[in-house]
Amino acid sequence: MDKKTGISFTVITCIIGFMVAVQFQTIKEPEVRDTRDLWELREDLKQSQELYTELLTKIYTYEAKVEQYESQRDDSKITILQDTLDELKKEAGLTEVSGPGITITVEQSFNEVGKQATTITPSLLRWLINELNSYQAKAISIDGHRVIATTVIREIQGRPKIDSYSISPLPIEIKVIADDAERLYNKLKASEAERQFFIDNLRLKISKPSKVVTIPAYDDPIRITEMQPNMEPDKK
């Protein structure tokens, strides 16, 4: 590998690491109470999403480069770029992933206290995602839809939605992958999660850790504005 290729590979590796950090920080809550006002929090979220958008732009740039090198028959550069592109897509949530993890089922609690729930509120879902991320979750899907850094969970016309998809009536499944599924399971069982859901007349059923949990790729369109990839040929 020549000097120029080595430098490029180092830069690309840094980008991958930075992407992981951005995706985690975007939806991670700190252990201590955050004292920043609402406008500061919104500004931080905006900056994180802009960084994530820049990294997605890198994906499209590398895709264009791969096509360029294929036309030039430069096999060594194609291999490096394709491997990097695959890793970037994986970290961005754009590919299906499998690994050790757990499955969480959210269902009605069938208790006699309060009104029986038929769905889950967006605020409770966001709270659970933040809890899972604090326990080092690597990938999450809700009702069959992948959660990424730019995912929006909200209520529209009385129905909870994840990005452009309506969340199904109860019960729903939440799948989580982690490097240490046993630790994730123990942390979640010892947390306030079950109590928080019980307050909303919901019950969490947390499966025992599984060696293989499969989470789909993010399949909503990702719109990137003002993207101008560098298509100039590399100088020899």
Same domain, 121 and 206: yes
87-140 confidence digits (pLDDT tens): 888 888 999 999 999 999 999 987 655 567 888 999 999 999 999 999 999 999
Sign of CA dihedral 125, 181, 172, 152: positive
Same domain, 155 and 174: yes
What predicted TM-score, i.e. pTM, was given to this entire model?
0.68
Residue 114's domain comprises: 97-215
Number of Cβ atoms within 10 Å of the Cβ of 41 = 11
Distance in angstroms (rounded) separating the CA atoms of residues 181 and 103 = 11
Same domain, 9 and 56: yes
Same domain, 178 and 205: yes
At residue 232, does pLDDT exceed 90?
A: no
- Residue 4: band (very low, low, confident or very high) from pLDDT cuts 50, 70, 90: very low
Please indicate, yes or no, if residue 134 is contained in any of the structural domains.
yes
Same domain, 80 and 110: no
Number of domains present in the structure of the chain: 2
Q: Which of 53-57, 72-76, 182-186, 231-235 has the lowest mean pLDDT?
A: 231-235
Same domain, 86 and 107: no
Task: State the first-to-last Cα distance of the chain, in angstroms, to the nearest integer.
Answer: 14
Task: Read off the CATH number of the domain in which 146 is found.
Answer: 3.30.70.1880
Same domain, 71 and 157: no
- Cα-based distances in Å from 51 to 45, 74, 96, 130, 151: 10, 31, 23, 19, 14
Same domain, 24 and 125: no
Distance in angstroms (rounded) separating the CA atoms of residues 210 and 199 = 28
Same domain, 78 and 111: no
Distance in angstroms (rounded) separating the CA atoms of residues 48 and 50 = 5
